[in-house]
Amino acid sequence: MSVRRLHPDQPESFAFTEENAAYLQKVIARYPEGRQASAVIPALMVAQSQEGWISRPAIEAVAKLLDMPDIRVLEVATFYTQFQLSPVGRKAHIQVCGTTPCRLRGAEEIISICKNRLAAHPFELSADGDFSWEEVECAGACVNAPMVTVGEDTYEDLTAETFNALIDGLAAGNPPAPGPQNGRFFSAPEGGDTTLTDGALYDGSVVGKYRAFDREELTPAPAAPAPAAPAPAAAKPAAEKPIPKVVEAQGQADGEKVPDLHKPELFEAAREGKADDLKLIYGVGPKLEEMLHNLGVYHYDQIAGWNEMNLRWIDQHLGSFRGRAFRDKWIEQSSKLATGWRPSNKDGDKPV
């Protein structure tokens, strides 16, 4: 664990952009009167997304915004390793989990790649200023060890090869989809399912709803028939079963370019000059909303009308956010939002 202190070189000042300030007013409004300090973490996150790191003036601006003593905001900023207290790489700051499960599964090798390819020491900028790295404590993805965090994304089940590919992708502005990098489905068994294999459990009603969605609705190939009753483990070794490849279903695994014929209808500007609040889509923040606007996406019904290939086309233009559109099921969320439904927490519910 590193010592967390403010950087010796600090900027003169910090001010939230108009858009970020407006967004934070909405966040603050979630909390009861007098409890605006509860918004300290989102406010620091927004400050970091705006400047790339947390400076003393940013801490002071957050304290002023939330009517808190500076020291209390400083305590939060210095406690959580999610907050960067010094300038980080322009393209990525890589946080390598170095806690026991990740160590046992190869974190050491990931750290040596950081030292050899990026910078000799944590928090040092790479020669081109594009990258920096640090070692952090458990990020809660031990079952997919070893793993790293880049911004809001995690890259899991890494090997030297896939980690090098991640660095290459980040450098080229085309990182792989976040999540497991070995093709496994979230934290499902690497060799495929060995228990609860009765297809009736995954009929899309309750248990295993995600499987019905990701494996059948999103996969272009016809859905496989539901498996028969579970076979004894000895009669059907796990290794014979196909590994679910959700990333392939997302059109991300092979980096295949989706041709422009699948480009969805994009607008020059929002209808009647008023865009829908795309941040109500779970997983979409101010930065991603801006990228969508730049692409010509402004409305829920616009997204709701896309098909899978349209979504893939958009997804490939989302830089380091690639994979989110599928993971968070934007089409389904937007279909609900287009009907007038609103998430209970104002900032987007979990994917439907």
User: Which residues of this chain interact with ligand FES, rule CB under 6 A?
Assistant: 97, 99, 101-102, 138-142, 145, 147
Q: Which one, 76 or 139, has the nearer CB to ligand FES?
A: 139
CB 233, min distance to ligand FES, A:
28
Q: Which one, 85 or 139, has the nearer CB to ligand FES?
A: 139
Sequence-ordered list of residues with C-beta below 8 angstroms from that of 78, at least 6 positions apart, any chain: 4, 5, 6, 85
User: DSSP letter string over 183-249?
Assistant: S--TTS-TT---SS--GGGGSSSSTTHHHIIIIIIS-SSPPPPPP-SPPPTTTS-GGGSPPP-HHHH
Which has the closest alpha carbon to 5: 49, 50, 44, 55?
Answer: 55
CB 322, min distance to ligand FES, A:
22
Q: Which one, 142 or 284, has the nearer CB to ligand FES?
A: 142
CB 179, min distance to ligand FES, A:
14
Per DSSP, the chain holds a count of helices (H) and strands (E) of: 14, 5
Q: Which one, 65 or 111, has the nearer CB to ligand FES?
A: 111
CB 146, min distance to ligand FES, A:
7
CB 170, min distance to ligand FES, A:
20
- Separation of alpha carbons 253 and 255, rounded Å: 6
Positive or negative torsion for Cα 37, 38, 41, 46: negative
Which residue has 């196909």 as its token pair? 242
CB 148, min distance to ligand FES, A:
9
Which has the closest alpha carbon to 226: 198, 205, 245, 189?
Answer: 198
Q: Which one, 138 or 201, has the nearer CB to ligand FES?
A: 138
Q: Rounded to 5 degrees, what angle do the CA atoms 310, 313, 315 make?
A: 105
Which has the closest alpha carbon to 165: 174, 246, 326?
Answer: 174
Q: Which one, 65 or 97, has the nearer CB to ligand FES?
A: 97
What would the two tokens of residue 299 be?
A: 């409305």
